[in-house]
Amino acid sequence: GIGTAYNAPIVAGWSWFPQKKGAVNGVVLTGFGAGGFIFNMIGTKLINPEGFSSPFPPSVSESWPNMLRTLAAIYAAMSIARSLLIKT
């Protein structure tokens, strides 16, 4: 699962900062946790902007495809922007 996504940034960080492996682990895991926390709030606002509680009206489920497209566009834009920062 998600554990495979941890490997690349942790190994890259260890190669860049071999004396600070614990700090690299902390930064990477904090980034993964904070990303989930922030995008959970964004997704909730996109799918349920009025803050309805259960049982949800049909408008909430109807906004599902739009929320997925919006989040995908945000992820794509962030990935492209970050890929431009990579130096070889």
Q: What is the pLDDT of residues 1-53, one digit of tens each?
A: 677 888 888 999 999 999 999 999 999 999 888 988 999 999 999 999 888 88
Is 82 in a helix, a strand, or coil?
helix
Is 47 in a helix, a strand, or coil?
helix
Q: pLDDT-derived band of residue 55, with 50, 70 and 90 as boundaries?
A: confident
Reply yes or no on whether the pLDDT at 71 is more than 90: yes
Residue 47 in contact with residue 63, Cβ under 8 Å? Answer: yes
Classify burial at 23, counting beta carbons within 10 Å of its beta carbon; exposed 0-12, middle 13-18, buried 19 or more.
exposed
Q: Which amino acid is at 26?
A: G
